[in-house]
Amino acid sequence: MTENQKPVIQSPNLLWLVRHGESTANVARQKAEAEGLLTIDFPEREADVPLSPFGIEQSVKLGKYFLKEKEKPSVIFCSPFLRTTETARLIAENAGLKNVRIYHDERIRERELGIFDRLTSRGVMRKYPEEYAKRKHLGKFYYRPAGGESWADVAFRIRSFWRDLREEFSGEDVLITTHEAVIHVFRYVLERMTEAQILEIDGVCDIANCAVTTYRLNGDKFDLQNESLFG
């Protein structure tokens, strides 16, 4: 490389981060929280929770959106959980992406909740008051429930995934179907945020099911292009 040559940036050109369509566990959580219950009732293990009928509609609608768009994914990655793989499959089928390969990667799976799994906010306060107070003091970015992960833990695996993606899929237009907390951590990594910045965003807005967060490569960094809701 000569003195005036710039290094070639290895990176996807476009990145779409998609939260999975509404799941049956999302419905169960909303019901439990609304009724003031302590636990969230659904029969499947976390990895096997399917889309709800509305979640299927959302995913189909998003696929049809990409069908009409000029720019389409050339590769798709998804969390190996059922609700994210169903979302990816329905998007690809309805966008006409027959030749686009879908890859599964455990590093973009849902955050592990450990002892807080299947508990509502009220349930955490009631069953683990000391841990609830500790989480409130430390903040969700660094607090790790027993058997679970903090957001910082998720950031470690997202950085690993992102490094591999940049090296192996440079120049591609990549769609990723994943989970709400994971998308927030992606933003933290891609935009080089501080803890305070990403928690402020998390505090004022939820990522809706099948919402799309779009990034475009601009020089040596990714710029947030838009955030859209489908479904």
Domain assignment present for residue 5? The answer is no
In sequence order, which ranges of 13-120 are alpha helices (DSSP H)? Answer: 24-34, 53-68, 82-94
H helix and E strand count, the chain: 8, 6
Domain assignment present for residue 7? The answer is no
Domain assignment present for residue 2? The answer is no
CA angle, 182 as apex, 199 and 208 as ends, to 5°? 80
pTM: 0.94
Domain assignment present for residue 221? The answer is yes
Contacts of 93 (CB under 8 A, 6+ apart): 63
Domain assignment present for residue 1? The answer is no
CB 107 within 8 A of CB 157: yes
Domain assignment present for residue 68? The answer is yes
Q: How many CB atoms lie within 10 A of CB 146?
A: 9
In sequence order, what E strands does the chain have?
Answer: 14-19, 75-78, 102-104, 173-178, 211-218, 221-229
pLDDT in tens, the chain (231 residues): 455 666 567 899 999 999 999 999 999 999 999 999 999 999 999 999 999 999 999 999 999 999 999 999 999 999 999 999 999 999 999 999 999 999 999 999 999 999 999 999 999 999 999 999 999 999 999 999 999 999 999 999 999 999 999 999 999 999 999 999 999 999 999 999 999 999 999 998 889 999 999 999 887 777 888 777 665
Total domain count for the chain? 1
Nearest partner of 46 among 149, 129, 168, 131, judged by Cα: 149
Nearest-angstrom CA–CA distance, 178 and 73:
15
What tokens were used for 213? 């967060």
Domain that holds residue 76: 14-229
Domain assignment present for residue 8? The answer is no
Whichever domain contains 141, its CATH number is: 3.40.50.1240
